[in-house]
Structure 1
Amino acid sequence: MTIKERREREKEEMRELILSAANDIITAEGFDKLSIRKIAKKIEYSPSIIYHYFNDKEEILNNVMQRGYKKIVTAVSLTKVKGDSPEERLVEMTKNYIKAALDMPEEFIAAQLNQSEIALKHTSSLFKGASKEKPALAALYNCLKEIYKDKKVDANTVELTAQMIAVSTLGLIIKLIIEKDIGDKQRQKLIEYFSEEIVLRIVNEKGII
């Protein structure tokens, strides 16, 4: 390994250490409580060292949010590789999204319930045109478009349907995270019923398909 390669690896390791510490603080205390000083204390370095790797707290927050959102997008996008019908992919997509969120409950809650401008930059999905800007919503939108391909459904209705499914799924996830003691069997039943029945009912509303 060359000196340059070693330095790059050390740089990435330090960035990872900083982001991991920031994520731990956010999970435990919330976005608003994060500070450069707290990160420095947690990793046992001086605050000035952190500024060597990140411009400011906002850049750290953006990186933390991007990492979390990437997990969700990856979980949803993986559904594309399956050769099922679009309805089956929609069901699988919903299950994958829920599983990915439940695998990082504290991080998910901290991000989704935060109203800061930085958090909303990544989590907002109800504005008009969101399906063109948000990868996870875009995957859902495109699946719905395929379901509706032989129906007279305009793009705005497709997007609204995608948004309603996303919001409904978010509500279930939050309740599953909060109500921790319902048992694995009941949790799985709820996820399956929601994904296989409720989501398709939203799609089928008013006899669209």
Structure 2
Amino acid sequence: MSIAERKEREKAEMREDILNAAREIVSHSGIDGISIRKIAGMIDYSPAIIYHYFKNKEEIIGILMEEEYRRILAALSPLQTTGNSPEERLKESIKSFMMLAVEMGDAYKSIMLNSSPAVLARTSVLQQGAACERPAISMVCRVLRELPGWAGSTDAQVELTAQTIWSLAFGLALRSIVEQVNEEQRQRLMEHTTEFVLQALRNPAKQPKGGM
């Protein structure tokens, strides 16, 4: 290995050490607990060293948020599978998303309830036009249009419906974490919620039209 390659590897390892420290802080203190000084203390380096690898804590938070968003997209991957009906894909994705949230636990709460611009830049999904800006909402919108009777729905109606489904799954997952709901009850709630959503979607003519 050349000197240049070794330096690049050491740089990558140092960056990962810093990110690992930040991840640990999030797991114990939430996203607001991250600070350059805390990270430096955890890895026994000076804050100046951290700034050598990252511009500021916002850059570190941005990277962590991007990681979590990719996990969410992975949880929604059933939406893109072939061979299953649109209803089945939507049902499995809702369940997968909620299970991921519960698995993340307090870290999920910390991230998804955070209102800082750095976090909202990756977690906000309720703004008008989210279907174009957020892959997760876009994926839900695409599968909605595959459902019987939904092909001719307006963009506004589809987007608002996707945002409503997302919010329902988010709320249920969040309360499951807060209340520490046991596995059996959590499964019952997820099953009921997904069936409730699908029943509502089976008659698009009765859906609010959405938009002005």
* Equivalent residue number for residue 191 of structure 2: 192
Q: Structure 2: how far apart are the matches of 1:143 and 1:163?
A: 13
Evaluate the alpha carbon distance shift between residue 106 and residue 6 of structure 1 in structure 2; reply closer, same or farther with a 3 A threshold.
farther
1:7 and 2:3 equivalent? no
What CA deviation, in whole Å up to 9, does each residue of 1:52-109 have, x standing for no partner? 1111111011011111111011121254124101111110111111122222112211
Q: Check whether the contact 1:161–1:202 (CA below 8 A) recurs between aligned residues.
A: no
8 Å CA contact 2:30–2:106 kept in 1: the answer is: no
2:202 pairs with 1:204: yes
TM-score after normalising by structure 2: 0.89
* Residue in 2 that maps onto 1:16: 16
* 1:103 alignment partner, SS class: helix
RMSD: 1.9
2:36 corresponds to which residue? 36
**Compared CA separation, residues 35 and 153, structure 1 to 2 (3 A):** same
Residue 96 in 1 paired to residue 96 in 2?
yes
- Provide structure 2 residue ranges, at least 5 long, that are not aligned to the other structure: 208-212
TM-score normalized with structure 1 length: 0.90
Percent identical among aligned pairs is 43
2:87 paired residue number: 87
Distance in 2, matches of 1:52 and 1:33, equals: 21
In structure 1, how many angstroms separate the alpha carbons of the residues matched to 2:36 and 2:150?
Answer: 54
Change (3 A) 1:45 1:81: same
Match of 2:75 in 1: 75
The code of the aligned residue for 2:144 comes to L
User: Which structure 2 residues correspond to residues 43-54 of structure 1 after superposition, within 5 A?
Assistant: 43-54=43-54
Cα distance in 2 between the residues matched to 1:69 and 1:41: 28
CA separation in 1, counterparts of 2:37 and 2:172? Answer: 36
